[in-house]
């Protein structure tokens, strides 16, 4: 099956039908959430401190929901209006804007404490219009992103490089724009679990994070299980628990958003039968 970026430009491929299909597919949702949580982990954000983050290629807000769960504030940008319409319909807590990442990040200098992007970066390597120059679009994107990040901030991109040449092209333009860092490859020996993360840093002198090992490695602890363990240790409510739902609703009330009242049914587990 061909990857989406080989079939049509993103604003055309993710039409109303495809956007709804994407957001309702439980397998896609699960994958997006896991990759988003890994991206946040690689950001190395301060513990127990809300940050202001940028989500590039935010789509319908699946990755933004992960940021919300961690108590962060975010702004998302995407080129697909259909995807953003669903994000608004889902009442995501972040603000979303319609924007082409290849034309740069339209934000003030030093605005964000970090940036994540899930499955979007490889689209910049395509020339969907006669005016598109992948090298120029990559540099424009990275240089404006560098400007709108605070110093010592990180940007983490989960992406699907077509080959090693494309990976080198992307990395070279990021370094030219002022970033330093590199690619972290999780589960390199697995066909399905293998994931590439471009980890970029604006300042400091820290080594790249360690990649997760092969799934067959008995010494490798699932970062999902580790994440839940850390949340428990910090006294944070687990996702989808009654306490987690109430905390999220209270955050929405503080933001002045319309929120359903609590009741004895809030957070109640369903039997799965109708």
pLDDT by residue (tens digit) across 64-99?
999 999 999 999 999 999 999 999 998 899 999 999
Higher pLDDT, 12 or 112: 112
CA dihedral of 97, 101, 104, 109, whole degrees rounded to 10:
60
Q: Is residue 215 part of a domain?
A: yes
Q: How far apart are CA 120 and CA 142, in angstroms?
A: 13
pTM attached to this predicted model:
0.76
Q: How far apart are CA 200 and CA 28, in angstroms?
A: 26
Residue 15, pLDDT above cutoff 60: yes
Residue 219, pLDDT above cutoff 50: no
Q: Is residue 93 part of a domain?
A: yes
Q: How far apart are CA 198 and CA 153, in angstroms?
A: 14
CA dihedral of 73, 66, 241, 272, whole degrees rounded to 10:
140
Residue-wise pLDDT tens digits, 159-195: 999 889 999 999 999 999 999 999 999 999 988 889 9
Q: For residue 253, give the H/E element and its range.
A: helix 242-254
The residue behind tokens 């039997």 is 271
Residue 265, pLDDT above cutoff 80: no
Q: Is residue 75 part of a domain?
A: yes
Q: How far apart are CA 273 and CA 117, in angstroms?
A: 37
Q: Is residue 59 part of a domain?
A: yes
Q: Is residue 5 part of a domain?
A: no
Higher pLDDT, 27 or 113: 113
Q: Is residue 211 part of a domain?
A: yes
The greatest distance separating any two alpha carbons of the chain, rounded to the nearest whole angstrom, comes to: 58
What domain count does the chain have? Answer: 1
Give the model's confidence band at 266: pLDDT under 50 very low, under 70 low, under 90 confident, else very high.
Answer: confident
The domain that contains 107 carries what CATH number?
3.40.50.150
Structure tokens at 70: 């961690």
Q: How far apart are CA 195 and CA 214, in angstroms?
A: 11
Q: Is residue 36 part of a domain?
A: no
Structural domain for 54, as ranges: 49-254
Q: Is residue 141 part of a domain?
A: yes
- Strand order across the beta sheet in which 180-186 lies: 95-98, 73-78, 52-56, 112-118, 149-159, 195-201, 180-186
Residue-wise pLDDT tens digits, 133-161: 889 999 999 999 999 999 889 999 999 99
């Amino acid at each position: 099956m061909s990857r989406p970026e080989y079939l049509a430009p993103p604003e055309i491929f993710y039409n109303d039908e495809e956007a709804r299909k994407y957001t309702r597919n439980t397998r896609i949702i699960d994958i997006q959430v896991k990759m988003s949580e890994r991206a946040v982990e690689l950001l190395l954000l301060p513990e127990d401190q809300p940050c202001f983050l940028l989500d590039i290629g935010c789509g319908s807000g699946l990755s933004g929901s992960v940021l919300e769960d961690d108590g962060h504030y975010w702004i998302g940008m995407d080129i697909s209006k259909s995807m953003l319409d669903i994000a608004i319909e889902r009442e995501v807590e972040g603000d979303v804007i319609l924007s082409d990442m290849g034309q740069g990040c339209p934000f003030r200098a030093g605005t964000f404490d970090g940036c994540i992007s899930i499955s979007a970066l490889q689209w910049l390597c395509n020339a969907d219009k006669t005016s598109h120059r992948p090298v120029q679009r990559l540099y424009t994107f990275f240089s404006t992103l560098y400007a709108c990040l605070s110093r010592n901030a990180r940007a983490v991109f989960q992406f699907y490089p077509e080959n090693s040449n494309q990976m080198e092209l992307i990395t070279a333009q990021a370094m030219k724009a002022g970033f330093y860092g590199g690619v972290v490859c999780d589960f390199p020996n697995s066909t399905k679990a293998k994931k590439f993360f471009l980890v970029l840093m604006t300042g400091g002198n820290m080594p790249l994070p360690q990649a997760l090992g092969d799934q067959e490695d008995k010494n490798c602890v699932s970062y999902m299980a580790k994440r839940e363990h850390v949340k428990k240790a910090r006294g944070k409510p687990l996702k989808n628990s009654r306490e987690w739902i109430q905390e999220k609703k209270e955050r929405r009330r503080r933001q002045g958003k319309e929120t359903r009242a609590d009741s004895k049914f809030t957070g109640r587990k369903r039997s799965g039968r109708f």
